[in-house]
Amino acid sequence: MQKGLEKSIKQAEFATNLAQYWLTPVAIVLTLSIIGIPLLLLWLPIGGIFTRRYIANMSTELTDRKLIVRKGIFTRTENTVPLDKITDMALIQGPLMRFFKLHKLTIETAGQSGSGALLNLTGIIDAAHFRSLVLAQKETLNQLESDSTADENNDTYVITLLQEISDTLKRLENKASL
């Protein structure tokens, strides 16, 4: 397979109620504080606009060699994680997430700086299936690379063996010519 051509395997979709999930904790805090109730009237429409826009800018794509995550409103970021660098993928679901039927998928990599997950993806539809696709593709990629390494080692062995045969034939020719 050529390294320059990436084959897209799965484009993750995000749950429609993700904006509600993100707005709810602040709405609860504002409701519990008496002075927050008037702010709640501002928070719901303004927060709703920004969260829907943020979600519209989110995308997660699994290719045959990497995971690409894009997000942001004002500052847009794109994280590209090679599948062979992924060390752990965890599914997390707190009480509020269970209420909204959402999961958070955390991704940790080898060599990442700091503690905690490198990426947190909240609200992917069927997050468990997406996680299993990523892990299966990671395993497939690891198998392809180990097969490639075995082929390279086998090629090196064959070349060495042919060189030894060539040297032996040259010695036999030299003895025969004497």
Provide φ and ψ at 59, rounded to 5°: -150, 150
Predicted TM-score (pTM) of the model is 0.74
CA nearest neighbour of 26 among 41, 43, 42: 43
Q: How confident is the model at residue 162 (pLDDT cuts 50, 70, 90)?
A: confident
Q: How confident is the model at residue 1 (pLDDT cuts 50, 70, 90)?
A: very low
CA nearest neighbour of 70 among 55, 48, 85: 55
- Does residue 74 surpass a pLDDT of 70? yes
Instruction: Give the C-alpha separation, 157 to 163, whole Å.
Output: 10
pLDDT digits (tens, 9 = 90+) for 37-68: 899 999 999 999 999 999 999 999 999 999 99
Percent of the chain at pLDDT above 70?
Answer: 90
- Does residue 169 surpass a pLDDT of 90? no
**CATH assignment of 8-177, given 2.30.29.30, 1.50.10.10, 2.20.25.10, 3.10.520.10?**
2.30.29.30
> Where exactly are the structural domains of the chain?
8-177
pLDDT at position 175 is 78
pLDDT at position 34 is 83
First CA to last CA distance, the chain: 52
Instruction: Give the C-alpha separation, 76 to 69, whole Å.
Output: 11
pLDDT digits (tens, 9 = 90+) for 6-30: 888 999 999 999 999 999 999 999 9
- Does residue 177 surpass a pLDDT of 80? no
**57: CB partners within 8 A, 6+ apart:** 70, 71, 72, 73, 76
pLDDT at position 153 is 64
Question: What is the pLDDT averaged over residues 60-82?
Answer: 93
**170: CB partners within 8 A, 6+ apart:** none
